[in-house]
Chains A and B, each alone.
Chain A
């Protein structure tokens, strides 16, 4: 019999002997091995029970051709939840922003004038530059930016897509 085995009839004999380093390591190896092995299996088992996501979280929505966006122009489109998005074109680029003012939620307009390409919110006079950065009014004081929405442009067909969150049928506007 090995030195750490007890003869029967001596209940708890081994548990009363002082814990040696070897026995401590042994216990650690024992429980560690069980935890690592069965723990991983348990994780895979749980993953099995959770149905995997089979649909991507975002999708592309058609938003017209590049030719629909003359320089200086903007169009309103909506995402699947009914939120309005402004897609504006400057000489440099085409970008999209939520039309919801970050201050108190009013509807921001794209006002294009020679030299001043700005978004304007009529409620409290908030002004943003073409990249949605606040310039004047309450948004400037609170350093609140317009929320940018991702655009995907297909060069080959010159079409513009808005990347929006995919929501189930019932939640769509």
Chain B
């Protein structure tokens, strides 16, 4: 379908298009992707928000890799050098730090939006499961990334996490040894976390994100039911480019602005350096693990690990559970109630842990 001129008549333009025979028309068509008009609602931009934040993390993360040294002896000092010795080091690091928190919040909000708009239902079950994996990957990003700083809480948080992993039925000890790279948290652990954080997890994330977006394109974005006023046919869709893209760019700028403000007012700091001989009085994981940590303190280790695993599996396979519930004619209200209760439970445990 290309109407590019041939080299015998078009000169250099023709030669270029022979070197790279891509049909640019495809891009324009892709850009004219019809977006359901309810996406003009800003809270439908949450998915794009997560992806944008992922890009921020990759870009700032690559910069940080130029100066970070992943050995127990030098890790902490290299983070310190970045924070105080490199131009804009404190800023790039703070963007990365706050970006990680924002990304997890955005992922959770996006997940809630998808859940409460029922966008996981057939035929979109696969995309929900990919999304669930992405949420776990994001939390692992946060966990491994924080451990790289090698502060006291980094070291001991990793130790506790490995101990919890060890309590998993059957695969526990293997998982813990895999995480630690041995029987104890040490330089092997740091290396592993580094590889996970800058190599394995980004690759997995990219693949999953690619699949996630591909599935969205293939399925189209779910239209909302029961919207109220009927929408005229010609207004039911609008263009990805430039309309929706501009919306996303606005969201992007707002995020950059917020992140910059956070970086200016609460720049990322450094706690005391990791000391394997001295356990701090209070070890706490990052806030997105509070719910799990709290659960641990209420019930026994085994119970909480099993409960977490069961809940995780339910979360992962939710479209099928939901489908089963609907078949049972328990209405569409039950998923809503379950969702609200689960989220409230998560919040309660998180806030409870944050207060102690």
Chain A directly contacts chain B within the complex, with at least one CB pair under 8 Å: yes
Q: Does B328 contact A (CB under 8 A)?
A: no
Which residues of the partner chain A approach B203 to less than 8 Å between Cβ atoms? Answer: none
Complex Cα spacing A11 to B241, Å: 11
Q: Does A24 contact B (CB under 8 A)?
A: no
Interchain CB contact (< 8 A) of A47 among B28, B87, B242, B256: B87
Is B92 in contact with A48, judged by CB distance below 8 angstroms? yes
Is B239 in contact with A5, judged by CB distance below 8 angstroms? yes
A-B contact count (CB 8 A): 54
Complex Cα spacing A58 to B57, Å: 40
Is B253 in contact with A33, judged by CB distance below 8 angstroms? yes
Is A7 in contact with B234, judged by CB distance below 8 angstroms? yes
Residue interface bits A113-157, CB-to-B below 8 A is 1, else 0: 000000000000000000000000000000000000000000000
Q: Does B66 contact A (CB under 8 A)?
A: yes
Residue interface bits B219-247, CB-to-A below 8 A is 1, else 0: 00000000000000011011100110010
CB distance from A50 to the nearest CB of B (A): 7
- The verdict on A48 contacting B89 (CB below 8 Å), with A11-B32, A34-B249 known, is yes
Contact-residue bracket for chain A: 20 to 34
Contact-residue bracket for chain B: 20 to 34
Which residues of the partner chain B approach A44 to less than 8 Å between Cβ atoms? Answer: 88, 91-92
CB distance from B259 to the nearest CB of A (A): 11
Q: Does A168 contact B (CB under 8 A)?
A: no
Which residues of the partner chain B approach A52 to less than 8 Å between Cβ atoms? Answer: 85-87
Which residues of the partner chain A approach B243 to less than 8 Å between Cβ atoms? Answer: 5
CB distance from B159 to the nearest CB of A (A): 32
Complex Cα spacing A78 to B234, Å: 84
Is A48 in contact with B87, judged by CB distance below 8 angstroms? yes
- The verdict on A1 contacting B238 (CB below 8 Å), with A8-B32, A37-B256, A41-B256 known, is yes
Which residues of the partner chain A approach B91 to less than 8 Å between Cβ atoms? Answer: 44, 48
Q: Does A51 contact B (CB under 8 A)?
A: yes
- The verdict on A7 contacting B235 (CB below 8 Å), with A34-B249, A49-B66 known, is yes
Q: Which residue of B lies closest to A30 (CB)?
A: B246
Q: Does B34 contact A (CB under 8 A)?
A: yes
Is B28 in contact with A12, judged by CB distance below 8 angstroms? yes
Is B87 in contact with A37, judged by CB distance below 8 angstroms? no
Q: Does A6 contact B (CB under 8 A)?
A: yes
Q: Which residue of A lies closest to B33 (CB)?
A: A8
Interchain CB contact (< 8 A) of B253 among A1, A7, A37: A37
CB distance from B268 to the nearest CB of A (A): 14
Complex Cα spacing A33 to B89, Å: 25
A window 11-60: CB within 8 A of B: 11-12, 30, 33-34, 37, 41, 44-45, 47-52
Q: B residues engaging A (CB < 8 A)?
A: 28-29, 32, 34, 37, 59, 63, 66, 85-89, 91-92, 234-235, 237-239, 242-243, 246, 249, 253, 256
Offer 17 A-B interface pairs, CB within 8 angstroms, sorted by A.
Answer: A1-B238, A7-B234, A8-B237, A8-B239, A11-B28, A11-B29, A12-B28, A41-B256, A44-B88, A44-B91, A45-B88, A47-B88, A48-B63, A48-B88, A48-B91, A52-B85, A52-B87
- Nearest first, the 9 A-B pairs at minimum CB distance are A8-B34, A8-B237, A7-B234, A48-B88, A47-B87, A44-B88, A1-B235, A52-B87, A48-B92
